[in-house]
Amino acid sequence: MLSKEEFEALAERVFSFHTKRAPGIYIGVAMVDLARDVLGPVKGKLNAIAETQACLSDVIQIMTGCTVGNRYLRVMPALGRYALTLFDREDGRGVRVWADPAKIDAGKTPEMYNFFHRTRDADVEKGGSARELSCIKIIEEFRIVGRSILDSQKVFVINHGKPPMLPAVVCPSCGETYLQRCEMHKQCDFCSGENVYFKAQCW
């Protein structure tokens, strides 16, 4: 378990990487710390799964070295749960940690309760000084309750091995290489219209 000084120093590192002082970062540091404590040493390489795209993925990357780029971190934004799993890629042994809504008391930690239930004031959602003040309050509340609002479970991760490297082929439409998922995947997703995120325009 991290000392108070180590915890605060790590939180500052992730705040800097994330470029803002989001309360989910501070709570996420405690979540990764708990997962590492319960998991213990791993035989193979430590891997991670984030069940949301917000905040947790940045905490995981800074604290564990598991990144999207090295493919040790998987992000599952469609799940949308504030949870993470750290696991041993060799045998799939892992620990899942999440913030348990049943343990967050609206009377004792009202700002944190509103944060997790997405019911903060409208001016907070707009950003600015109201959001900054809300973040400070949530961090203060979390410092009081700490790990008591978190829960963990030992799990076995399905498909825990290293994901395969897909072959690169040249798209007949745009002439660029893309990763081919299967034999039927004859065109890149942009040219097929499945994944269009921009339109060509002079500006």
- Residue ranges per structural domain of the chain: 4-156, 166-203
User: What pLDDT does 164 receive?
Assistant: 83
Instruction: Judge if pTM exceeds 0.85.
Output: yes
| Amino acid present at 164 | P
Query: Please, what CATH class does the domain formed by 4-156 belong to?
Result: alpha beta
The separation between CA 72 and the C-alpha centre of its own chain, rounded to angstroms, equals 12
Angstrom distance (rounded) from CA 65 to CA 26: 18
Residue ranges in the chain whose pLDDT is less than 70: none
Q: Where are the alpha helices (DSSP H) in 40-186?
A: 56-64, 110-116, 122-126, 129-145
Give pLDDT tens digits for 39-93.
999 999 999 999 998 899 999 999 999 999 999 999 999 999 999 999 999 999 9
